[in-house]
Each structure stands twice: as structure tokens, then as C-alpha cells.
Structure 1
Amino acid sequence: MRHLTRNLLAAAGPLCLGLAACATATETHPNRTATEQLLVSRAVERAAAEFSMALPSKARVYLDASAFRGEGSDYAASAVREALLAQGNPIATSRADADVVVEVRLGALSIDKTQRVVGIPRLTVPVSSNFSTVTVPELSAYSRRDRTGVAEFSAFAYEAATGRPIALGARFSGTAKIRSHTMFMVFSWGDLEVRPDDASVEADQWWKLW
């Protein structure tokens, strides 16, 4: 029996050392998840699809995006350029080469999140006078989570040479939304994610409580 115990310990030693030597991969944690980024991208594309300004036919347009700032604004500015090309206006690389300047500014480009819970939502509770807290997990019979990407921007156009106004007060917006349901904190259904090849992320829900 002692010999068996020694043999088991001898075999277990190298195994434990091998397990202790295993490497752990580190994952990055960006400000937005891929799902949230795709929601914003879809909202931008829908806003850009509405872009339409009464510009001179085939006039070369310089897009002034200096006031178009924020996370994801480069993607949105590119979508506006594509919209200008789609309506037949070539893009000028500088003001000097342009017939018309279109200036765009950012109203909103972000995510709205809402959650409804039948039960007790996730809570952070203070436990001492030195501001220590404890997080109490959600205890619910049903919960619904909505995430909405929102994009809104406005634009105006003027002659590059004279500054004379051509179009004022144009506003464009788009949204993209996904919804998920959870029953008894275990069973989930609905649109749980947005895939890069999805043509649409708008949820067609077959069951709603609200």
C-alpha cells in the first residue's frame, strides 16, 4: 500500500508542475463591445441613407468634418462622403478644388441601454461607513434588455468661392436596435447579438410583455 501511495505521489508531482506552467491569454477590454460598435455603424448607415441636399448637379464638394468629432465619427464622415457620391457629386480633396463646401456636425453617435426587470434588479449596497459596497446580483423572473445605436448629424452647404449659402438646416438620423429576453435568469431568447453580415438588426419580436 505504501509503495502504491509513493507511486501516485511521484506521478502526481510532474502533473501538478505541468498544470502550474500553463499560460493564460489576456484579452483586451475596449470601451465598446463589437455588438455595440455594429449597432452604431448600422445607425450611421441608416442616417447616411437619408442624406440628401439640393446641391448643384455634379458640383465638386469638399466635406468639412472639423466639427464632426466623437467616437466613430470617422466612420460617419466616410458614410456621408459615400452619400454625396451616390447623389452624383464628386468629392474634392481640398477647399481650393471645390465648388461647394458641405459642413457636417455631430448631434449624437452612441448607444442607449434600457432594462426592465420583474423582480429585484442588480443592486450596489453600502455595507460600512468607509464607503465599502457589495453588489447583489439580479434576482428576476423576467428581464428585457434593449440596446439602441443612435446616429444624428446635421449639415449645411455654401459656395466655396463666395460663401453664399446653398442649403441650410439639413438634419439626418438613424437608429438600430436589438432586444433580448431572459426568463428565470436562465432561459434567453431574442436578438442576442449583431453579426457583421446582418443586413438588418431591427428586432421582429414575436412576444412582448410591454
Structure 2
Amino acid sequence: MALAQTSFLSGDPRTNRRRVRQSFTLSLVMVLVTIAVTGCASTKTSNTARTATEQLLISSAIDRAMSNVRFDEFANYKVFIDEKYLDSVDKGYLVGSLRHNVLQSGGQLVATADVADVVIEPRSGGVGTDTQESYLGIPSLGIPGMPIELPEVKFVSRDTQMGTAKLGLVCYDPKSGKALGLGGETTALTHNNDTYLLGMGPFRSGSVLDQREKAVGFNGVGGSFMSNPAHIAKSKPVMMVNKPAGMPSLDVPFNAAPQIATLPEGITTNR
């Protein structure tokens, strides 16, 4: 019994060294396998040359300017829109909105002026955006006689981007060339505010935020963590054709798709 115990004890160091070598070999193999299978992935993102906020500011200003025009006066008239004197940013949207309003009022669009009852001649007095930056804090200060400048400190700052649309409209009879009314100009403004408090933000407000919330239920760009959660809504369906009475209609329910992605359970959106 004593001999067996002595033999076991004398063989224990060799067993330990063997186990250490096995553990080291196994660890080395695992490290090599990890290096071999480990990879990296990167996601490439890009942005359009013009931000969506800028485009929304301009399109919203155009919509607001159009809302100040009496398009119902073109009902039952053949209308030609002459855009040769129109030169502006987002000209396509401006002309398309003008055509839409004429059609919505009951007017009929024609392709040439010689068959029209009325020619509408739009012009741009200014369609674009401006940026204004303001802050409350301490400006950067230079120390006299020393190449040192103390950085500025902003307690509260606000970046405001404004959209402007000034449109001119005149109508005339294509046969006589005489004006059918005084015409005039219509101007509208939009704005988007990004406010920062001690470096926290942005806290958003303005026309773009209101439009996004009206469309999808929240601002669509994440908002700030200190604002109240908003309900995620669906956009109102766009009715394209009003069918005359007596025409068959498809009794298929319309299910509008959500205007934003479905969020994971337990996560809410904040404005």
C-alpha cells in the first residue's frame, strides 16, 4: 500500500507537465482557429448632395405659396402652363404642383397655347434656403502676447435653416395676348431649428418636424432622448381616381403600408 502511494506521488509531476503541454497546445490551436475565422465587416453609407431637410423646406414653402392662389377660377377652362420664364431650384416640383392645382380645381391642361383658353406664366422671385447660427455663451478669446486662444463655450446654441418660395403668376388670353387678371406674387417661408443645450441635442422644431409628424407620426430622424414618445401613424391614402356613378368598383380593402419600419418590441420613438 505504501509502495503504490509512493509510485503515484512520484508520477504526479510528469502527469502535470503532460497536462500543461496539452492545455498549451489546445489553447494555441484555438487561438490560431480564431485568427483564421475572424473577419471584419464595414458598412458603406452615402448621402445625397442635397439633404432631405433642405428639399422639404423648399417643397413645403412652394406648397404654402401655392395655397395662397385662387386656382378654382380655372374650372372648366383649357389651361396651358408656359414655363419658359421660370428658372428656380426644384423647378420640376414647382411646375408639377402648379399642374396639380389646376387639375384639382377643375381645369383642363393642354399641350399648346393655341388651343388654350388661358395661359399661366409662372416665374420665380426666389426659391432656396438660408442658414442662421446663434448661441449664448463665451466667444473664443486670445491672450495678449501669447500664442494661446481660449476656445468658445456655448451654453445654448441654435442652428436655423429657412426655406423661401416667392412665386409670381400671371394669366393671359393666348388669342389676344391681353391679361385676364392682375396676377401677382405669393411668398411663403418655412424653417427648421436644431437647438443644443450644453452640447446635448439636437432638440428639433419647425416646419419639417411638423410635416414629418403629420405624415408618419414622428419626426423620422430619431429626435432626442429627452422628448415625449409619439404615436407611429400611417400616412393618409392618396385617392387617385374618383370613379363616376355607375362604374364598377373593386371591393378590395385598402391597407396602407407603414411609412416607417416596425420597431423591435419594447422600443419607442422619441421626438
Q: Scaled by the length of structure 1, what TM-score is found? A: 0.72
Q: Report how far residue 93 of structure 1 moved.
A: 2.2
Q: Is contact 2:120–2:169 with CA below 8 Å preserved after alignment?
A: yes
Q: CA deviation at 1:171?
A: 0.5
Equivalent in 90, 93, 96 of residue 114 of structure 2? 96
Q: What CA distance in whole angstroms lies between the structure 2 residues aligned with 1:61 and 1:120?
A: 59
Q: 1:52 to 1:25 in 2, by over 3 A?
A: same
- Equivalents in 2 of 1:36, 1:47: separation in Å? 17
Looking at structure 2, the residues matched to 67 and 121 of structure 1 have their Cα atoms a distance apart, in angstroms, of 46
Structure 2: gaps (5+ residues): 1-19, 141-150, 220-271
* Superposed CA offset, 1:122-151 (max 9, x none): 9xxxxxxxxxxxxxx974111012122211
For 2:201 and 2:178, the matched residues in 1 are separated by 60
CA positional deviation for 1:89: 2.7
Displacement of 1:90 in angstroms is 2.1
Give, in angstroms, the shift of residue 173 of structure 1: 1.5
Specify the structure having the higher radius of gyration (Cα): 2
- Equivalent residues, number: 183
- Give the equivalent residue in structure 1 for 2:214: 198
SS of equivalent to 1:167: coil
Match of 1:140 among 150, 154, 159: 154
Distance 1:115 1:164 in 2: 47
Q: Which runs of 5+ in 1 are unaligned?
A: 123-136, 202-210
**Partner AA of 2:200 in structure 1:** V
- How much does 1:121 deviate? 7.4
Q: Return the alpha-carbon distance in structure 2 between the equivalents of residues 93 and 60 of structure 1.
A: 10
- Gap change, CA 1:48 and 1:15, over 3 Å in 2: same
Partner of residue 29, structure 1: 47
- For 2:33 and 2:198, locate their aligned partners in 1 and report how far apart those are by CA, in whole Å: 45
State the Cα RMSD in Å: 3.1
Alignment counterpart, residue 73 of structure 1, candidates 55, 72, 91 = 91
Q: % of aligned pairs identical? A: 23
Q: More strand per residue: 1 or 2?
A: 1
Q: Which has the higher contact order (CA 8 A, sep 6+)?
A: 1
Match of 1:114 in 2: 132
Structure 2 residue aligned with 1:173: 187
**Which residue of the partner structure matches residue 152 of structure 1?**
166
Inter-partner Cα distance in structure 2 for 1:54 and 1:154: 17
Matched, 1:13 2:31: no
